């Protein structure tokens, strides 16, 4: 009976139920008793708990969600592919992969944004572009051709964001061409904007800004 109670508590927690709700439904008198039951059920199912129990629980929950939509995603269902990308992105965040710097496009995007002189009013557009980059990196982490192909369709949106922010070579060139030219010193020098990380990424993948 205790094992069944533990399992019921775990399933409710996986479904997103808060601890007080689980205590009420399953019949635990204390929060500690409820949390211990959840931990026992996880160990019984072979879910290894790390020092941060919430992290282990969330990863387990994401694995179950991923499994539930994977078949439809690899079959080409656009909605399912979106869910897989979102789940993968969250897993990357929880496991620290993003923090470890294993997100090349997002890192390149951040490097580009840091080099710009932007205003507060630009922040919504900046956030939108970063979201696109995170989804591309998340799909690349899957290694699934269908997910990667769908995610690469976001690249033009990333380029559009950068263009609006004045961060593509073409836009910088146009601005430079319109700017008054300073008196030329003896000899000729070639000016030009610094090539940023996002430009390098696009060049490596045969993309045009």
Taking the domains of the chain in order of start, what are their residue ranges?
Answer: 1-49, 58-179+191-209
Contact 43, 50 (CB under 8 A): no
The C-alpha atoms of residue 133 and residue 129 are separated, in whole angstroms, by 6
pLDDT of residue 177: 63
Q: Which long-range contacts (CB under 8 A, 24 or more apart) does 171-175 make?
A: none
Question: What pLDDT was estimated at residue 81?
Answer: 86
pLDDT per residue as tens digits for the range 110-138: 899 999 988 889 999 998 998 888 778 77
Task: Report the pLDDT value the prediction gives residue 158, as an integer from 0 to 100.
Answer: 93
Range with the lowest mean pLDDT among 60-64, 78-82, 149-153, 175-179? Answer: 175-179
Question: Looking at residue 163, what is its pLDDT?
Answer: 93
Q: Which residues contact 2 (CB under 8 A, 6 or more apart)?
A: none
The yes-or-no verdict on residue 195 having pLDDT over 60 is no
As a whole number of Å, the CA-based R_g of the chain is 24
In the chain, count H helices and then E strands.
11, 0
Give which of 46, 50, 37, 48 is closest to 11, Cα–Cα: 37
Q: Which of 105, 120, 121, 115 is nearest to 166 (CA)?
A: 115
Longest C-alpha distance within the chain, in Å? 91
In tens, the pLDDT along 131-184 reads 888 778 776 665 556 667 777 888 999 999 999 999 888 887 776 666 566 555
Q: Label residues 101-118 b or e (16+ Cβ within 10 Å = b).
A: eebbbbbbbbebbeeeee
Contact 83, 71 (CB under 8 A): no
* C-alpha dihedral (174, 176, 177, 181), degrees to nearest 10: 170
Name 115's Cβ contacts closer than 8 Å, sequence gap at least 6. Answer: 167, 194, 196
Note the pLDDT of residue 48.
Answer: 54
The model's pTM is 0.43
Start-to-end C-alpha separation, the chain: 63
């Amino acid at each position: 009976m205790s094992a069944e109670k533990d399992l019921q508590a775990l399933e409710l927690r996986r479904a997103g139920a808060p601890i007080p709700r689980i205590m009420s439904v399953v019949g635990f008198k204390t929060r500690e008793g409820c949390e211990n039951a959840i931990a026992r059920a996880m160990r019984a199912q072979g879910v290894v708990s790390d020092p941060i129990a919430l992290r282990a629980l969330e990863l387990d929950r994401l694995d179950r969600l991923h499994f539930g939509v994977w078949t439809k995603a690899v079959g080409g269902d656009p909605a399912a592919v979106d869910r897989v990308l979102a789940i993968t992105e969250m897993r990357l965040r929880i496991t620290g992969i993003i923090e470890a710097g294993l997100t090349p496009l997002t890192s390149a995007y951040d490097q580009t944004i840091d080099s710009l002189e932007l205003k507060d009013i630009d922040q919504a557009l900046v956030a939108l572009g970063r979201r696109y980059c995170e989804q591309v990196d998340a799909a690349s982490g899957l290694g699934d051709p269908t997910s990667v192909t769908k995610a690469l369709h976001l690249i033009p949106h990333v380029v559009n964001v950068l263009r609006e922010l004045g961060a593509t070579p073409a836009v910088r060139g146009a601005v430079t061409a319109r700017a008054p030219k300073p008196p030329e010193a003896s000899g000729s020098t070639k000016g030009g904007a610094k090539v940023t990380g996002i430009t390098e990424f696009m060049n490596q993948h045969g993309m045009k800004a």
